Amino acid sequence: MSDVKIRQSAYQALCETEASIPLFSQAWWLDAAVGPEAWDVALVRKGERIEAALPFYVRQRFGITVLTVPNLTPALGPWLRPYAGKSNKRIARQKSLLTDLFQSLPPHDLYQQNWHVDQQNWQPLYWKGYEQSTGYTYRLEDLSDTDAIWRAMDQNNRNDIRKARDREGVRIRQAVSTKEAVDVCGKTFERQGLSVPYSESYVESLVSAAERHGAVDLLVAEGQSCELHAAAIIVYGPDTAYYIMGGGDPEHRNSGAASLILWEAIQRSSERVKIFDFEGSMIEPIERFFRGFGGRQTPYMSIRRAASWKGQAYLGLQRLKQVRRMRHSGVGK
């Protein structure tokens, strides 16, 4: 058995016993996203026990090795075993574990990952030459009282929900297939003249794996003539629901269905988990829409370091693409 397979096996066993490992860091999610041959994990052990782990997607492109996150995987980053000691000891422990994790990464040209929102301490990597930028998501952190969520919601969002439900006759149902949801979501990109950044087969792989773990809802918003207005895919971790993909038919963009389908997702999530995470967005019109649901603005760390000139060139290309995406603001998830 190769060293990679040995690490993956140890990490899979950890995922099966450690509840604090986030959904997108689970071994089964990575297998579904990129296949077992395309991801690896750095591990730090103290004796026989794993104290820290850093899973990553090994992306090979144009002769460049990038350690990153798969598509439709909002975050990875380090997992550190929970520690309840004093603050100074906890921070010292984080420094030691993070240093050991990143020193054990395989050769690469670029490391680039968004970290989970619960991992905020990147300072030890600053001292190693890494760079950081801050992104934001919105999170409803207490789904136990949906009436309170409704009252805290922006009036425009509430009006859109009422419009879709009461005037347009839109209803929310489970999608009959992954294709049905993906086709609707893809129309958001087509409206902007952009290629859809994921294939139906890729989404199907993620959805099938999540279905086996009872961790997904595929929702569509259907009009009175059975026309589809919008779609959303929600995946569930132990305590959090994540809105990882959504979009709508531009012919029905004013029906209010986008608000209604998210409100339905929030209500369904309240029966399963404590938190609803809108997963972004840094695109201004989408941020405004998500903010209207009353969630808390929550920062997450985006960490990167180019380890070669090829990595620097790749970063430059990424920045150009980001500028292009910003010019096409309004694109869905």
DSSP for 11-36, written as a single string: HHHHHHH-TTS-GGGSHHHHHHHH-T
**For 74, what's the count of Cα atoms within 13 Å in the CB-facing half-sphere?**
23
Same domain? For 181 and 230 the reply is: yes
40 close to 4: Cβ distance less than 8 angstroms? yes
pLDDT of residue 317: 85
Same domain? For 64 and 176 the reply is: no
Of 94, 129, 164, the domain-final residue? 129
Same domain? For 167 and 216 the reply is: yes
If one counts every other C-beta atom within 10 angstroms of the C-beta of residue 285, the result is: 11
Beta-carbon contacts of 262 under 8 Å, excluding residues fewer than 6 positions away, are: 232, 243, 246, 278, 293
pLDDT of residue 330: 44
Residues linked to residue 8 through DSSP beta bridges, in sequence order = none
Same domain? For 112 and 161 the reply is: no
Same domain? For 260 and 228 the reply is: yes
Same domain? For 281 and 197 the reply is: yes
Residue 326 inside a domain? The answer is no
Same domain? For 152 and 246 the reply is: yes
- Per-residue pLDDT for the chain (333 aa), expressed as one digit of tens each? 799 999 999 999 999 999 999 999 999 999 999 999 999 999 999 999 999 999 999 999 889 999 999 999 999 999 999 998 899 999 999 999 999 999 999 999 999 999 999 999 999 999 999 999 999 999 999 999 999 999 999 999 999 999 999 999 999 999 999 999 999 999 988 877 778 888 999 999 999 999 999 999 999 999 999 999 999 999 999 999 999 999 999 999 999 999 999 999 999 999 999 999 998 778 888 999 999 999 999 999 999 999 999 999 988 888 887 776 666 544 444
pLDDT of residue 21: 96
pLDDT of residue 61: 86
Residue 216 inside a domain? The answer is yes
Residue 251 inside a domain? The answer is yes
Same domain? For 98 and 156 the reply is: no
If one counts every other C-beta atom within 10 angstroms of the C-beta of residue 6, the result is: 11
CATH number at residue 170: 3.40.630.30
Residue 303 inside a domain? The answer is no
Same domain? For 163 and 207 the reply is: yes
Residue 143 inside a domain? The answer is yes
Residue 82 inside a domain? The answer is yes
pLDDT of residue 328: 55
Same domain? For 125 and 151 the reply is: no
CATH number at residue 18: 3.40.630
How far apart are alpha carbons 4 and 37 in whole angstroms?
Answer: 9
Rg (CA), the chain: 20
Same domain? For 100 and 8 the reply is: yes
- Segments forming the whole domain that contains residue 106: 3-129
What's the number of domains the chain is made of? Answer: 2
Residue with tokens 């989408």: 286
Of 85, 110, 129, the domain-final residue? 129
Residue 95 inside a domain? The answer is yes
Of 108, 129, 150, the domain-final residue? 129
Residue 332 inside a domain? The answer is no
* pTM of the full structure: 0.93
DSSP for 319-331, written as a single string: HHHHHHHHHTTT-
Residue 163 — φ and ψ, nearest 5°?
A: -60, -50
Same domain? For 67 and 119 the reply is: yes
